[in-house]
Structure 1
Amino acid sequence: MALIYLESKDNPKIKHLRGLIEQNTYRKKQGQTVLEGTHLCLAWLEQSRQITSIFTTEKAIEHEDFDKIAEQYKGTVFVIGESLYKELSTLGTSLACLAVVDIPSSSHALNFDADTLILESIQDPGNVGTLLRSAAAAGIKQIVSTKGSASLWSPRVLRAGMGAHFAVNTYENVELQDILQKFSIPVYVTSSHESESLYSKDLTQPSVWILGNEGQGVSDYALANAAAVSIPQPGGQESLNVAIAGSICFFEMVRQRI
């Protein structure tokens, strides 16, 4: 493991790292993203995936958690100052570790007979990452996001997903109209309008779940081409957070299948 010390924030390596952290268009152009924190880095390495480079600090490189990464990673580690790291980091409280990796391209065509989660214009990175984490835990292996959704492979979504990305196949910037009619399994949307209780549905067979924008919900097209389900709320709240609602749906599906 080679160590290279960088001091200037204008160093091309630092500029590249900053672009990957801050700009979705730059990530797409470069085909790379950034994993932040030792947990994500170790989860990535445990999947036998390659890390291009790692950025850390002198203090962090002495930590035992970093030793675990060094056992598997033999590439270059760029050591930067604490203040520069804090300026770059989106997490702030974890052990200093920013790993540049190539964004995986899905090697599988979309399976129209398999459990699928479709994110329709969900914009909050925390919600997107949480939904991926819950879906992966429930055994859903296909995640589709439409245009207008937060980038699935942004550092913030990756952080919220806690490694869920590495267990699923992801498909981004998909037009709902291009795929919805191709599914041969039930398609559900969460909605409080003209819907039936989630708990009245038979979810023992593969299903598609469409979850919509935090403020506006799912589109009219989704509502017209799916069965609307609601989650009973005896407490009378207007609505649930989309990540909470999705998680309830996924694990009702799991409950029925056990």
Structure 2
Amino acid sequence: MALIYLESKDNPKIKHLRGLIDQNAYRKKQGQTVLEGTHLVLSWLDAKRPIKSIFTTESAINHADFDLIAEKYLGTVFILSESLYKDISTLGTSIACLAIVDLPNSSEALNFTEDTLILDNIQDPGNVGTLLRSAAAAGIEQIVCTKGSASLWSPRVLRAGMGAHFSVHTYENIVLEDILPKFKIPVYATSSHQSENLYSKNLRQQCVWILGNEGQGVSEYALKHAEAVAIPQPGGQESLNVAIAGSICFFEMVRQRQ
């Protein structure tokens, strides 16, 4: 790895890095995003994906994780001062490591016969990343986000996904009405209204899961074109966090298929 020291916050490379971290529109325009933390960077490299550049600090580059990165990355590493890095980074306790990568292109067409997760206007990056992580663990390989959902490839969603992005096919800014009629497999939407018990469903065949907005739930269109399912809550709570609810659904599917 070639090491280059950067000292000024006005350096064009620092401005570019900051823009990718802070601005979704800038990420889309540049076709790039930022991976934060050595875990994500190593996962990306393990998936045989290229990295444009890495930013770290002089103390962090001596960490053992950077020895593993150096085995797979031959590009430039920019060394920042501790204060400059802390000013840019959104993680306070991890090993200093920021990597710029190109956004993947969704070149493969959506498969309307495979297990699919549709995120219908889910806006919290932590929920989106957690749902990707749970879906990938459950074997769901297609993730669809409708317009209004948090950007799948934002640094915050990537952190919450913990590398799940790299093993699934993702589709963003999709209009639900354009795709839902094309599925020839059961479609389930989580809802507490006029719903059937999740555990009464036969989930052994391929299916679609629709999870909705944190406050409003799934859209009216989704409910009209899906089977509404509810998770029993004997404790009497009104609702579950959407990421928790989704994870319960996915792993009930896994349980039935074992």
TM-score, length-normalised on structure 2? 0.99
**Which residue does 2:13 correspond to in 1?**
13
**Which residue does 2:122 correspond to in 1?**
122
- The RMSD of aligned alpha carbons is 0.5
**Which residue does 1:250 correspond to in 2?**
250
1:22-80 Cα distance to aligned partner (Å, 9 max, x none): 00000001110000000000000001110000000000011111111011100000000
Q: Secondary structure at the match of 1:119?
A: strand
**Which residue does 1:160 correspond to in 2?**
160
**Which residue does 1:85 correspond to in 2?**
85
Within a 5 Å distance, the mapping from 1:27-38 to structure 2 comes to: 27-38=27-38
Instruction: Look up the equivalent residue of 1:169 and give its one-letter code.
Output: H
| Mapped partners of 2:214, 2:206: distance in 1 | 25
**Which residue does 1:193 correspond to in 2?**
193
- CA drift of 1:108 comes to 1.1
| Mapped partners of 2:61, 2:52: distance in 1 | 17
Q: Secondary structure at the match of 1:173?
A: strand
Q: Runs of 5+ in structure 1 lacking a partner?
A: none
1:152-203 Cα distance to aligned partner (Å, 9 max, x none): 0000000000000000000000000000000000000000100000000000
- Further displaced range: 135-144 or 88-97: 88-97
- CA drift of 1:90 comes to 1.1
**Which residue does 2:63 correspond to in 1?**
63
What is the aligned-residue identity percentage? 80
| Mapped partners of 1:186, 1:51: distance in 2 | 39
Q: Secondary structure at the match of 1:188?
A: strand
**Which residue does 1:47 correspond to in 2?**
47
**Which residue does 1:179 correspond to in 2?**
179
Within a 5 Å distance, the mapping from 1:101-112 to structure 2 comes to: 101-112=101-112
| Mapped partners of 2:84, 2:120: distance in 1 | 36
| Mapped partners of 2:87, 2:122: distance in 1 | 27
- Further displaced range: 86-95 or 231-240: 86-95
- CA drift of 1:107 comes to 2.5
| Mapped partners of 2:74, 2:34: distance in 1 | 18
| Mapped partners of 2:249, 2:147: distance in 1 | 23
Instruction: Look up the equivalent residue of 1:101 and give its one-letter code.
Output: V
| Mapped partners of 2:231, 2:88: distance in 1 | 40
**Which residue does 2:219 correspond to in 1?**
219
Instruction: Look up the equivalent residue of 2:79 and give its one-letter code.
Output: V
Q: Runs of 5+ in structure 2 lacking a partner?
A: none
| Mapped partners of 2:155, 2:198: distance in 1 | 33
Instruction: Look up the equivalent residue of 1:145 and give its one-letter code.
Output: C
- CA drift of 1:149 comes to 0.4
| Mapped partners of 1:115, 1:90: distance in 2 | 33
Deviating runs (4+, > 4 A) in structure 1?
none
